[in-house]
Amino acid sequence: MPTLLKNLLKFTLFFVGAFIALSIWASYNRNLEKKVFGTPSFHGATVYRMPDLADWAYAERAKKKILFLGPSTLYRGVAPYVLNDDEISVFNGGSSGQRIMNSYFLLKYVLERGEIDMLVLDVFPRLWTGSKGVESARDHILNNPEYPAKAFGEMAWASEDVRNLFLGAFYAVKRGLLGRNEIQVTPAKEDDYRGDGFIYTLDSKERKSVDVRSDTASFSFREKRYFKKVQRLCAEKEIKLIVLIPPEVQPTPFVLPLIMDASNILNAQEAVPDSSLFYDNHHLYGRGAEYFSNWLKPRIKTVFNTQ
């Protein structure tokens, strides 16, 4: 046994050395990087959102700071410039396929840099089962100039995906060790990034048919676990937590998880009655986002004033 362990250690050192050498080489050779590790992409403007989020997190609390976290329904659906005023400062921290696990680590990332007053967590019921947040974790490694911040490393680990760890290790070398954190991506034509994390979806984006789900969504064990962590962190830092169920053309039926405090839930499933403001069942055009944000504003303010 000791001989095996000794030889395994020897090989591990050899492998780590080879990996670092390959990572350095790939950091300066785009073709190699693309072949072995992959290519960053626009993918919901994470590349622009994350530096903005870092700046917002570090900014002083002159106003009440409200952070929104959630999936694509959020970054296309809530326009901070509609919500912002003399009293509140909003940041939309949504990203593609973001699950509660991903939101938890994004919240940690923000709290490591500053304080916030309220968290609005978009929990889109269609995402309650299925993937473990692998896609979003990969997005926050590959397309995120702020990687390798500690919280993103933890997110990669929590996604339980070998490839995410592999990519995480490479970008730790490239961006952390070599400081090569410039990311070149081509923005999607119909997606107009308007700052504070929001993407204004232009009307030129093709409308898709509405797919109706009749299955009732309920929280997976994993969603419950990370929701509890978010609750705990918010309680610890005295942050108000609001759960937002986003608007849909055909609302997805769901069972409200017992761990949620019913008084802090904003069910907006039917908040946007005009289906022409959506480009599919649950993604809003920019016009729709402005409409929905106007619906949201007084309700958010009420929560502040009443609690």
Provide the binding-site residues for another protein, judged by CB under 8 A. Answer: 1, 3-4, 7, 11, 14-15, 18-19, 22, 36-37, 132, 134, 160-163, 166
Our CB check for another protein shows the closer of 10 and 228 to be 10
Sign of CA pseudo-dihedral 169, 142, 157, 106: positive
What's the min distance (Å) between Cβ of 29 and another protein? 15
Our CB check for another protein shows the closer of 63 and 163 to be 163
Our CB check for another protein shows the closer of 126 and 283 to be 126
Rounded to an integer, what distance in angstroms lies between the CA atom of residue 187 and that of residue 89? Answer: 26
Our CB check for another protein shows the closer of 36 and 202 to be 36
Rounded to an integer, what distance in angstroms lies between the CA atom of residue 119 and that of residue 67? Answer: 5
What's the min distance (Å) between Cβ of 1 and another protein? 5
Kindly state the tokens that stand for 164: 């995410």
What's the min distance (Å) between Cβ of 166 and another protein? 4
Our CB check for another protein shows the closer of 3 and 263 to be 3
Place of tokens 């986002």: 289
What's the min distance (Å) between Cβ of 144 and another protein? 19
Rounded to an integer, what distance in angstroms lies between the CA atom of residue 118 and that of residue 304? Answer: 9
What's the min distance (Å) between Cβ of 161 and another protein? 5
Sign of CA pseudo-dihedral 294, 296, 299, 300: negative
DSSP 8-class letter at 283: P
